[in-house]
Amino acid sequence: MTTTQRIALVTGGGSGIGLAIAEKFTTAGILTIIVGRDKDRLTAAAKQLGANCQPLSADLSDLTSIPALVQQVIDRYGRIDILVNNAGINMKKEFTEVTDEEFDRILLTNVKAVFSLSREVVKTMLPHGAGNIINISSMASRYGIPKVIAYTASKSAIEGMTKAMAVELSPKGILVNCIAPGFIATDMSAKALNSDQERKQKALGRTPLGRLGEPADIGDAALFLASDQAKYVTGVVLPVDGGNSIGF
């Protein structure tokens, strides 16, 4: 690590979209700490990405552990320049079958953990008067998708929080943006789409580019938002979706 090297924290960086973001960041020379629950998967991912990647296992749904987690990163690396709130869980179930506990479980990881982690990281960014936060929402917050009520509520909250954070934090030097991925080929989308061909056809049918996106497509967008080229961009929700959100 050099003193000028930027430092990123990417939640869910051990798989799928988070791993692709971490790959783009590390290749661009950013020291990238990847967070997830599965220690073995994180270690393997960090090994794959090389010296610029460091694994840190944690369950972000344990909100009380978040302040100590952030402190651990600060003690070890000095600061956090970029936070990517990518970790998320999904659940596909009929509206009337979803229990209050299940709804809470999705909101806990997808919303409350994002809030708690952002709050703690922002406290460490404020003294530097600089920082970059990237949240990850979904097409579920752009239009209605059946059988994902809790996920939709969570991703709509993410887009609202992005705007609220951007207006409050941008004057203090911290940019806050959001990427809304379309249908991207990962384990999560495979679970939702492969067992439901009608849903898959529907998703692709309204995607002008006619194919699923690659995790690297989201990685490229995150790298752009974290770069100096995006220094006048804050509060946006950027769809990276092959046109899905405007598709017919």
Residue nearest to ligand NDP according to CB distances in the complex: 16
Pairing of β 7-11 and β 82-85: parallel
Nearest to ligand NDP of 126, 200 (CB atom): 200
The residue from 77, 143, 151, 232 that is catalytic is 151
Three-point CA angle 168, 181, 70, nearest 5°: 50
Tell me if residue 151 is catalytic: yes
Which positions ≥6 away from 204 have C-beta within 8 Å? 183, 210, 211, 212
Task: Compute the distance between CA of residue 147 and CA of residue 140 in angstroms, rounded to an integer.
Answer: 10
Give me the least distance between CB of 129 and ligand NDP, in Å please: 29
Give me the least distance between CB of 241 and ligand NDP, in Å please: 8
| b/e map 40-72, b = 16+ CB within 10 Å | ebbeebbeebeebbbbbebebbeeeebeebbee
Give me the least distance between CB of 180 and ligand NDP, in Å please: 7
Nearest to ligand NDP of 126, 156 (CB atom): 156
Give me the least distance between CB of 16 and ligand NDP, in Å please: 2
Check if the beta carbon of residue 60 is closer than 8 Å to that of residue 38: no
Task: Compute the distance between CA of residue 98 and CA of residue 143 in angstroms, rounded to an integer.
Answer: 20
Three-point CA angle 55, 56, 60, nearest 5°: 135
Nearest to ligand NDP of 181, 242 (CB atom): 181
Nearest to ligand NDP of 108, 126 (CB atom): 108
Nearest to ligand NDP of 47, 128 (CB atom): 47
Q: In what order do the strands lie in the sheet with 174-181?
A: 53-57, 31-36, 7-11, 82-85, 131-136, 174-181, 237-240
Interface residue list for ligand NDP (CB under 6 A): 11-12, 14-18, 35-38, 41, 59-61, 86-89, 109, 136, 138, 181, 183-184, 186-189
Give me the least distance between CB of 87 and ligand NDP, in Å please: 4
Catalytic residues: 151
